[in-house]
Amino acid sequence: MFKLSKKVAVVTGASRGIGKSMAETYARAGAHVICASRSEDALNLVADGIKSEGGSASVSVINVSDLENFQNLIKKISDEYGSVDILVNNAGITRDTLIMRMSEDDWNTVIDVNLKGAFNGIKAVTRTMMKQRSGRIINISSVVGLTGNAGQVNYAASKAGLIGLTKATAKEIGSRGITVNCIAPGYIATDMTDQMDDQAKDLLISQIPLGRIGSPEDIAATALFLASDEAGYITGQTFTVDGGMVMI
């Protein structure tokens, strides 16, 4: 499989779900992984699990919507490890309701975490990666950013925004050997989707050609490939990992 030996990777939203799986996968491939989110205890459990398997991980408590927080984190990592090779902007939230009922706060909070959080991460890491003349940035979007979804105007706008952010950044910094790509997961079994009722889950599964809900590991496998040396000629792209639910 793809190797990430001696690479330093930051994964936001690594305390659970898809981020946790990506952190574990990167560590198994040989990277030192900085697991970042707001919940120190949960992050410690993830990092301890990685270390118990012989991997290398550390924990950083961060709110991705705070640029200064992100800049301090990247500075600390560069000072400590000498490089930041991979950044995965995965932290994300939902605040679903119809637009008629959506508050300004529901809108602002989702945009602040999902879209501005990725902007903050990219802004914080770009100088370091440009100096290195190498780097991998992976933004976790959603199929909803491609298709839209009733009840999720804030989330869909943030996820569509990530695709534009990815393309524009890829064009700006490609000449420095940095690739920027997006993964658009479909319906993945995590806390985020756990609260759906069985009827809604069955309806969704009926729209998936591969006939099953995805796992965090399905997303982590694509994130591993995109972080690897082998993906060095791919940039500005969005990869749907959704069992075939959305075909464009």
- If the CB atoms of residues 158 and 235 are measured against ligand NAP, the closer one turns out to be 158
Q: Report in angstroms how near the CB of residue 114 gets to ligand NAP at its nearest.
A: 6
- If the CB atoms of residues 69 and 134 are measured against ligand NAP, the closer one turns out to be 69
Q: Residues interacting with ligand NAP, by CB under 6 A?
A: 12-13, 15-19, 37-39, 42, 62-65, 90-93, 113, 140, 142, 185, 187-188, 190-193
- If the CB atoms of residues 65 and 126 are measured against ligand NAP, the closer one turns out to be 65
- If the CB atoms of residues 110 and 178 are measured against ligand NAP, the closer one turns out to be 110
Radius of gyration for the alpha carbons in the chain, expressed in angstroms and rounded:
17
Of 81, 155, 187, 233, the active-site residue reads 155
Q: Residue 105 corresponds to which tokens in the numbers above?
A: 């706060």
Q: Report in angstroms how near the CB of residue 11 gets to ligand NAP at its nearest.
A: 9
Residue 155 annotated as catalytic: yes
d(CA 121, CA 125): 6
Q: Report in angstroms how near the CB of residue 6 gets to ligand NAP at its nearest.
A: 26
Among all residues, which ones are annotated catalytic?
155
